[in-house]
Amino acid sequence: MEASSDWAELPYPPWRETCGALHLFTQIVGKYRLARTPWLNHSWHATLYVDARGLTTARVPDVPGGIEIRFDLLDHAVIGQSTEGRTARFDLGPMSVADFRARFVDLVRVLGGTPTFHGRPNEVAGPVPFAEDKALRPYDAEAVTRFFHVLVAVARVFERFRTAYIGKVSPVHLFWGSFDLAVTRFSGRRAPLHPGGIPSLPDEVTREAYSHEVSSAGFWPGGGGIEYPAFYSYAYPAPQRFAEAHVEPATAFFEQTLGEFLLPYDAVRQSEDPEATLTAFLESTYRAAAVLGNWSRDSLECALGRPLLPRPI
């Protein structure tokens, strides 16, 4: 079956090294946003967002007004703009993490900002301080652009799925620590204290992120033991029998080591209707968490949002 033209091929092994470099580059920019932005629940203040050309910080409260940093994944550049009218940029290409950091620090200085931030990666094995990571990294521009188009397609579905919930729900945003695009629904109830233990991530950050019951879904390009791009869905705390729940489509499965449901990206891309296939996964895994977890669904769920149509009261 031919893949939909809206959903690009994105095999992980050919661009593994580029993906790893881009992951660390986004951590540097994300840590700048983290250092300058007041803490928001569940670390929502630190994330990146998919925009029309790549990934953006939105406005970071630095200088009198603010600074926005964008990864332009079509022209392959990092672009910074300040509310005072300054603009700076540098090209993305083969470089070391240390080189990227140095160029980014210079860019923020040109914009009049404060380029101070935590200097080590999070949530990666064997983290090396950014300034000391001097190995040359490749940059496959074509793969990066395909990745961007995949993010756009996935974000479109996640954003529509988000509209069918009037309880607390996260933005659709990219967490640079684990390098996944995610959307999370909350039951409204407190959760048990998270045990922590995530590599290179303070337990206090993890515990604040999981302070309340969640059903969370997202997209990984690959890595962390999963050698292919995939969608995931998990619940915290996971209710009894969650792993045995029936979910859709048939190509989805529960991965015991990770403790979550996975759906290979190719199963979505190659389906007759990728958006419907992904939506079925999102809805069925959420339903498993909500039903088995005894969420108050009547007060949390609603019909999908539509343009120009206010929700009935």
Residue type, 281: F
49-83 exposure pattern, b = at least 16 Cβ within 10 A, e = fewer: bbbeebbbbbbbebbeebbbbbbbbeeebbbbbbb
DSSP code of residue 184: E
Are 239 and 293 within 8 A, CB to CB? yes
Residue numbers of the chain with a pLDDT score lower than 70:
1-5
Instruction: State the number of CA atoms in the 13 A half-sphere of 21 facing the CB.
Output: 24
Dist. CA 250–CA 228, nearest whole Å: 18
pLDDT tens profile 214-227: 999 999 999 988 99
pLDDT tens profile 109-136: 999 999 999 999 999 988 999 999 999 9
User: Hey, where are the domains in the chain?
Assistant: 13-132, 141-299
Chain position carrying tokens 């922590």: 196
Given this model, what pLDDT does residue 3 score?
45
Given this model, what pLDDT does residue 133 score?
98
DSSP code of residue 183: E
Given this model, what pLDDT does residue 5 score?
53
